[in-house]
Chain A
Amino acid sequence: MTKVHPEDFEVTDFAVREHRSLWGDAWRRLISSNTARLGLFIVILFVSSATLSHYFWKYEPKKDLNYSLKLKAPNIRPNEEVDSIHIFGTDKLGRDIFRRVVHGGWNSLRVGIVAVGISLSIGGLIGLLTGFYESITMTTAERIILYGITGLILGLLSAWIANQYFQLIFFLGFGIAAGYYQDLLAGKPLRMIVFGSAGLLISVIPSLFAGLTIALICGIWGILTGVLLSLPLDGKFFSNVMMRVMDMLLSFPGYLLAIAIVAFLGPGLGKGMIAIGIVGIPVYARLVRSAVLGIINKEYILAAQAVGEPHGRILIRHITPNILSPIIVQTTMGLANAILSAAALGFLGLGAIPPEPEWGAMLGDSYRYLTSGAWWAVLFPGLAIMLSVLGFNLLGDGLRDALDPKLRM
């Protein structure tokens, strides 16, 4: 019987899959969905038409006026009445609606990006820090910063009442000192008395120059500040205070708050952006915070601490990338929301100032002419709002599905 030996061979096939990144996978899932593709198409159309028209098809709203073309219906070739082409018709001042809709897109895009940028950066930072320090002990330096900021914020009221903004420096220093001497008389009532009287001195002495009544009010506030700073503040405290402030913001109806802020700041597209941005802060703060709380107890965070990584690095390197997907989804949806809010403010005359092309303001300008049959002056800006909001929402939905961790293999 002959023995059979295996032939010499080279191993050709390794069971190693090609490296696929998380974002590559998500992208593939995103474009495999029809609705997401439609959303992406609308968004790209909107963004590119707005950007291109802004840079290559200049428009000066203040000079655009032609009464002879007042409220003409859409035409696709010149006729005896209108010798130029207006595919969306013209409005009450004879302006080409197509041109204004396209340029209005640039304003909407700006509002969306700036407003969401404000909400996301402030709200996201609040959410990150509150979520993180809710369960992680602060270092000494971090605690001193917390005390300093608390002092500074509390000092604002006293400084405002006395109209002496240099007081802020005293309050900041006071807060830092309270943080630095945290263990001084810790837990004893004497500490409260010492800090309370220090706070009194800090606020009363400069305020005396502003008048006796003011000094009295500032003095009481100074005592309260001192007492608060004498307490052991920690991350939990910070987190609680911040979230209650967010709850307060959230308890106002969104549009009402935006209108109030615009009323305070004055009308204009830029102010409108700030107002819409502020209204959005609590949404992002809560979202980010809940996402942070969801992963803070994962072992890789503990492992990062166990190899001695500093807090800032854990926050940026380990926590932020892991909570990106809900933030991306919310940001996309938030853009749609901001566009809608900007249109609402514009419609009420609180957003963009008139000759400026803005969809909401265009609606507000033209709805009166609906009864005289000028449907085109209202239809096209309205369609633009609807389509852009729809596009961002569809894209947001698609992103949510694509980034869903349950689908990740």
Chain B
Amino acid sequence: MKPLLEIRDLETRFYTQDGEVKAVNGVSYTMDAGEILGVVGESGCGKSVHALSMMQLIPDPPGKITNGEVWLDGRDLLRLDENQMQKVRGREIAMIFQDPMTSLNPVYTVGFQISEAIMLHTDMTKNEARDRAGELLELVGIPGAIERLDDYPHQFSGGMRQRAMIAMGLSCEPKLLIADEPTTALDVTIQAQIIDLVKKLQSELGMAIMWITHDLGVVAELAQIINVMYAGSIIERGSVHSIYKETKHPYTIGLLGSLPRLDDAPGTELTSIPGLPPDLLALPEGCPFAARCGYRIDKCFVEKPKLVKVNGKDHSVACWRWEEISGLT
């Protein structure tokens, strides 16, 4: 089966006054239709930027996509111009954002904004689009959906606004929904509700979802495949089970090790990864993680490891010593 989305060697740079920021460095992977992919990594590792690059929503200047291809349904999105891209956005790839407080326009009613998105890509009339907006709000679980169509965003709570954003994202039944840290600004109970909602919607509507987050707990619950990113590259990729149980990359090991566990004895100190992520303005030659890695060898500082398949399974890792390390865990 042909994959829904195929990204090859995506590279994004920001040209700032201080120099060239290497935000995304050669990201390649594929996504199947209906797959839920989790993209994890710490702040500034290129998770959001690589998704925005796919949509060509990088602010230019200073940003620029310097290399790569993004194939969606037999078309390279990076070759499309802005007009063609406007037809792809929303209809084929939709995106929801981190902060539900600011992602709805404060001067329009929620219903107006959703029906506007619908009317943009279909030839529904105003009333049909409004009815559809009502259905969508109902679908994302807003009580009294029809009455709340005429509410302004400030009359919605944070969780409701994020639901409304999801409704807007789903309005044209996209093939791929990119969710950029959609639960970060919400409290834990609302997070759980949103995650359940997304799971339910995915099983009903069957679109592929890319869930970008730094919350390892959330992806474990939601995703099928996980990409772990570090300094603009994917350093480990695999199914949820293999990432959590057969962790190969020292960075992922460190990340998982730094999570508090329920069965830890009280007073146990959390382990942390020493050091800070590398400066993207001056990325080192070799493996970007080498400076913080306990398993480093000389080779790590010289040559950047490529993402290689592990045991022919659906798991790959970018580390020179993955075979030895995997023996350790």
Q: Pick the most buried of A140, A300, A302, A311: most chain B CB atoms within 10 A of its CB.
A: A300
Contact check, A17 vs B97: say whether CB atoms are below 8 A apart: no
Q: Does A304 contact B (CB under 8 A)?
A: yes
B314 close to chain A: CB less than 8 A? no
A137 to B59, CA, bound (A): 7
Across the interface, name the chain B residue whose C-beta is closest to A307: B90
Cross-chain contact of A300 among B82, B95, B105, B171 (Cβ < 8 A): B105
A141 contacts chain B at the CB level, 8 A cutoff: yes
Is B155 interfacial (CB 8 A cutoff)? Answer: yes
Residues of A within 8 A of B144 (CB): 16
Q: Does A28 lie at the interface of the complex (its beta carbon under 8 Å from any beta carbon of B)?
A: no
- A107, B60: Cα distance in complex, Å: 48
Closest to B88 in A: A308
Contact B94 A300 (CB under 8 A): no
Contacts of A22 in B (CB 8 A): 106-107, 152
Q: Interface segment, A59-67, A115-123, A314-322?
A: A314-322
A residues 293-318 near B (Cβ < 8 Å) are 298-300, 302-311, 317-318
1/0 contact trace for B265-283 toward A, CB 8 Å?
0000000000000000000
Q: Is the CB of B121 within 8 A of A308?
A: yes
Residue of A nearest to B87 (CB): A308
A48 adjacent to chain B (CB < 8 Å) = no
A84 within 8 A of B: no
- Answer whether residue A70 sits at the interface, using C-beta atoms and an 8 A cutoff: no
- With A139-B81, A300-B102 in contact, do A19 and B150 touch (Cβ < 8 Å)? yes
Asked if A220 is at the interface of the complex by the 8 Å CB criterion, the answer is no
Q: A305 near B89 (CB under 8 angstroms)? A: yes
**Contacts A135-B59, A140-B81, A140-B82; A306 near B94 (Cβ below 8 A):** yes
Name the CB-closest residue of B to A141.
Answer: B83
Cβ of A198 < 8 Å from any Cβ of B?
A: no
Is B117 in contact with chain A by the CB < 8 A criterion? yes
Q: Mark B69-103, 1 if CB is under 8 A from A, else 0.
A: 00000000000011101111111001111110011
In angstroms, Cα B84 to Cα A140, docked, is 11
User: A236 CA to B154 CA in the complex, in Å?
Assistant: 34
Asked whether, in the complex, the Cβ of B83 is within 8 Å of the Cβ of A308, the reply is no
Shortest distance from the beta carbon of B161 to any chain A beta carbon, whole Å? 11
Shortest beta-carbon distance from A203 to chain B in Å: 32
Expressed in whole angstroms, the Cα–Cα distance for A21 and B90 within the complex equals 28
Q: Would you call A138 an interface residue if the criterion is a C-beta within 8 Å of the partner chain's C-beta atoms?
A: yes
Q: Complex Cα distance A298/B85, Å?
A: 21
- Asked if B95 contacts A322 (CB within 8 A), the reply is no
Pair B82/A308 contact, Cβ less than 8 Å: no
Bound complex: CA A408 to CA B153 (Å): 13
Asked if A308 and B105 make an inter-chain contact with CB atoms under 8 angstroms apart, the answer reads no
Task: Tell which of B57, B105, B155, B168 has the most Cβ of chain A within 10 Å.
Answer: B105
Question: Any chain A CB within 8 A of the CB of B124?
Answer: no
Q: Is the CB of A308 within 8 A of B120?
A: yes
- Contact check, A307 vs B94: say whether CB atoms are below 8 A apart: yes
Residues of A within 8 A of B120 (CB): 307-309
Cβ-neighbour of A140 out of B83, B102, B116 (below 8 A): B83
B165 within 8 A of A: yes
Decide: A306 and B86 in contact? CB cutoff 8 A. Answer: no
- With a cutoff of 8 Å between Cβ atoms, the chain B residues found around residue A409 in the complex are 154
Q: Which of A19, A138, A318, A408 is B82 in contact with, Cβ under 8 Å? A: A138
Question: Once the chains bind, are A308 and B86 in contact (CB under 8 Å)?
Answer: yes
Which chain B positions have C-beta within 8 A of A299? 97-99, 102-103
Give min CB distance, B72 to chain A, whole Å: 14
Contacts of A322 in B (CB 8 A): 105-107
Shortest CB-to-CB span from B100 to chain A, Å, is 9
A16–B147 touching, CB < 8 Å: yes
A47 CB, nearest partner CB in chain B, Å? 28
Bits for B150-179, please: 1 = Cβ < 8 Å to A, else 0.
Answer: 111011000000000100110110000000
Q: Which residues of A contact B152 (CB under 8 A)?
A: 19, 21-22
The distance from the CB of A180 to the nearest CB of chain B, in whole angstroms, is 13
Using Cβ atoms and an 8 Å threshold, which residues of chain B touch A19? 150-152, 155
**Is B19 among interface residues, defined by CB-CB distance under 8 A?**
no
Q: How far is the CB of A7 from chain B (nearest CB, A)?
A: 24
Q: A140, A304, A307, A309 — which one has the most chain B CB atoms within 10 A of its CB?
A: A307
Q: Which of A17, A21, A136, A306 contacts B95 (CB 8 A)?
A: A306
CB neighbours (8 Å) of B108 from chain A are 317, 321
Bound Cα distance from A41 to B83, whole angstroms: 50
Q: Are B82 and A306 in contact (CB under 8 A)?
A: no
Select one of A136, A303, A310, A321 contacting B103, CB under 8 A: A303
CB of B55 closer than 8 Å to a CB of A: yes
20 interchain pairs, CB-CB under 8 A: A17-B155, A137-B59, A137-B82, A139-B81, A140-B82, A298-B102, A299-B103, A300-B105, A302-B57, A302-B103, A303-B104, A305-B89, A307-B89, A307-B94, A308-B85, A308-B88, A309-B86, A318-B105, A322-B107, A408-B154
Given A305-B57, A321-B107, 15 other A-B contacts at CB below 8 A? A19-B155, A22-B106, A137-B60, A140-B83, A299-B98, A303-B95, A303-B104, A307-B94, A308-B86, A308-B88, A308-B90, A308-B91, A322-B105, A322-B106, A409-B154
A-side residues, CB < 8 A to B, are 16-17, 19, 21-22, 135-141, 236, 298-300, 302-311, 317-318, 321-322, 408-409
